[in-house]
Chain A
Amino acid sequence: MSAPIELPKWADVSLVPVLAVIVAFLVAGLVVLGIGESPVRASILLVQGALGSGEGIGYTLYYATNFIFTGLAVAVAFHAGLFNIGGEGQATMGGLGAALICLKLDFLPWWIVLPLAIMGAMAFGAVWAFIPGWLQVKRGSHVVITTIMFNFLAATLVVYLLVNVIGKPGSMSPETRVFEASAHLPYLHEALAAFGITIPQSPLNLSFVIALVASFLVWLLIWHTKLGYAIRTVGHSPSAATYAGISIGKITMITMAISGALAGLLAVNEILGVQGRLLLEFSSGYGFIGIAVALMGRAHPLGIILAAILFGMLYQGGTELSFEMPRVTRDMIVAISGLVILFAGALDGLIRRPMAGAFARLLKSEG
């Protein structure tokens, strides 16, 4: 029982997450049934809402952008055997970093402000994850608990700053002034219009491209760099890492920083892309859903993109669905995420064990 359950690789990366999602949807379907609506109709409405129109697709990809960032953040940490549960806080701090740059420098042209703001978001997110990593290495406090606490610390810090320091003067609502146009990351429909291509309007912005690039870079980092090799060695076998002369402490801190920087990028989509100002709770749970995305995507960037699009569909489709079926609110998606985390994460033995048995029987009957 203690040995990991061995499955063929293709089954591990595709079948297990797909089955976990199917089980999660079946349970969710029961819930929909329980509140007196038809799960089938709900599913159709959901898919229509998500993919039935250009605008819907735009929204789906806009949400997916957030999930790609937080999913990658969780996944990178997974590879080093770390559980970064602090995506929320790191994204919040990322927003702060981006906003500080914009507030100070948005009189400058976009080609200076935007790169700086993006780097600001990454740097703040990175620091907010690095500290828990550092505390684990140097002081022995576990990353999981520290990152939870850091989520709340980030939230209170940003509230304080918005209320007392960087908030819009003369306004009661806790948010900054709207940034100048030079600090606005173009919407995709704007960007493509420059090339004469017209697509429906949606909040989908160039962050999506950044997310795809980030996915590629993470893939490159994990499987095609020496650092990535070291990260995976630490994650798979700390004793082998020690033998190989890889410093576990150093890798832990670096990995946490990278993970935090990725979570910080969420702010690029929300703050630079859509809101154009810093406001409260823009991370609204994306950080936690990133855990579901990473588990479902089996910590591989390609899997994460697919899982993120699925969750983007759920978010967008769920919004549309709640117009058509007011009884099924978007909270459904949070519940489904919980179920996916449960079945693809903590209870994946329920899926893997019978599958491993089935494969073993299959092999026996063949041989």
Chain B
Amino acid sequence: MEIYATLIAITESGLRLSVPLIFACLAGLWSERSGVVDIGLEGKMLAAAFAAAAAASATNSAVIGLAAGIIASVGFALIHGFAAISQRGNQIVSGVAINMLAAGLTALVGNAWYAQGGRTPPLEGDARFQPLTWPGAEIIDQIPVIGPLYAHILSGHSALAYCALIATILSGFVLARTRFGLRLRAVGENPAAVDTAGVSVTKLRYAAVIIAGVLCGFGGAYLSLGQAAGFLTNMTAGKGFIALAALIFAKWRAWPAFWTCLLFGLLDAVAIRLQGVVVPGIGQIPVQAIQALPYLMTVVLLAGFIGKAIPPKASGLPYVKER
């Protein structure tokens, strides 16, 4: 029974850790399916986390915080879009720039405003997205086996965590079933086909980049308003890049992205749990080995040793009409 409780606890924390990954991964999915490579997920999330915490601390409203996070993230997304789409600049360079700009600005402004070494003041009450407890969770928790599943896996997460699920459902649906989704899938593969069909490549790509901004906004806000109680310097700590790895692993598809992020989140939870723990018969499992897994798996997958991850054909390429 104790093992079961541990499993439930690890899963619960894995779910929490996977939420920002899901948002960032879906953001990358929208952007890259439209043909705009986005290695600036990290920066956009960081900017959003800061803006959300700052706004929430000023207004004591988590919702206003979320809105601010989205606005900040979309702002950075538009810089990337302008560079990548309108200026036909190098998308990798632009992504690197956005990551550095966000890392620098959030720490700088955070320190200047709050003088707490880059932190925002701790948030509490309405300034955070509190865990939502589902009806009867406390009582049902007492039921063996099923109870904890309801109380800790289904119930007990912040509203934003449920938003991650909704975002996945919506992304999958819109991409597969709507006109916008069809055009978007097409533009990342062969923009000329979209252009000759009389549809604007530029508008589609900007739309995708903005959606990526909104999703990163959610992811960042979750970090500072849901998972933690405030902003910490560099609190994304590479999550944007893990999301990028997950995106590759999911072969740029919405539901596989969701599951991959869950997996990566769980791995992270396991790594945290196993820190310093001696597993009988095996000894101490190096935590770093588990932490390295997402990256290692991505490298191996990209190299085609297991399966093959083929990015959208036109991703990274500015669209220029050919003669």
Contact = CB atoms under 8 A, between A and B. Distances in A.
Direct contact of A and B (CB under 8 A): yes
Interface of A: 1-2, 31, 34-37, 83, 85, 135, 139-142, 144-146, 148-150, 152-153, 156-157, 159-160, 163-164, 288-289, 291-292, 295, 326-329, 331-339, 341-342, 345-350
A31 B120 CA distance: 18
27 contacts: A31-B105, A31-B108, A35-B108, A35-B109, A37-B112, A83-B90, A135-B302, A140-B304, A141-B302, A145-B248, A149-B241, A153-B292, A153-B296, A156-B289, A156-B291, A160-B288, A292-B100, A326-B111, A327-B112, A329-B107, A331-B107, A331-B118, A338-B97, A338-B102, A342-B97, A346-B83, A346-B87
B29 to A, nearest CB: 15
B302 A142 contact: yes
Contact of B100 (A139, A152, A337, A347): A337
Contacts of B101: 335, 338-339, 342
Given A153-B295, A164-B286, A341-B100, A85 B112 contact: no
A149 B247 CA distance: 13
Given A152-B241, A346-B87, A348-B89, 12 more contacts: A35-B112, A149-B241, A150-B299, A160-B289, A331-B105, A332-B108, A334-B100, A335-B101, A338-B102, A347-B82, A347-B87, A349-B89
B303 interface: yes
Contact of A346 (B90, B108, B296, B303): B90
Highest count of chain A CB atoms <10 Å: which of B79, B98, B107, B292: B292
A329 B245 CA distance: 32
Interface hub of B93, B118, B248 (most chain A Cβ within 10 A):
B93
A2 B108 contact: no
Contacts of A327: 111-112, 115
Interface residues of B, number: 52
Contacts of B107: 329, 331, 334
Contacts of B244: 145, 148
B90 A345 contact: yes
Contacts of B87: 346-347, 349-350
A172 to B, nearest CB: 11
Contacts of A83: 90, 92-93
B314 to A, nearest CB: 14
B39 interface: yes
A291 B111 contact: no
A153 B297 CA distance: 11
A346 B295 contact: no
Contacts of B245: 149
A144 B90 CA distance: 12
B100 to A, nearest CB: 3
Nearest to B108: A331
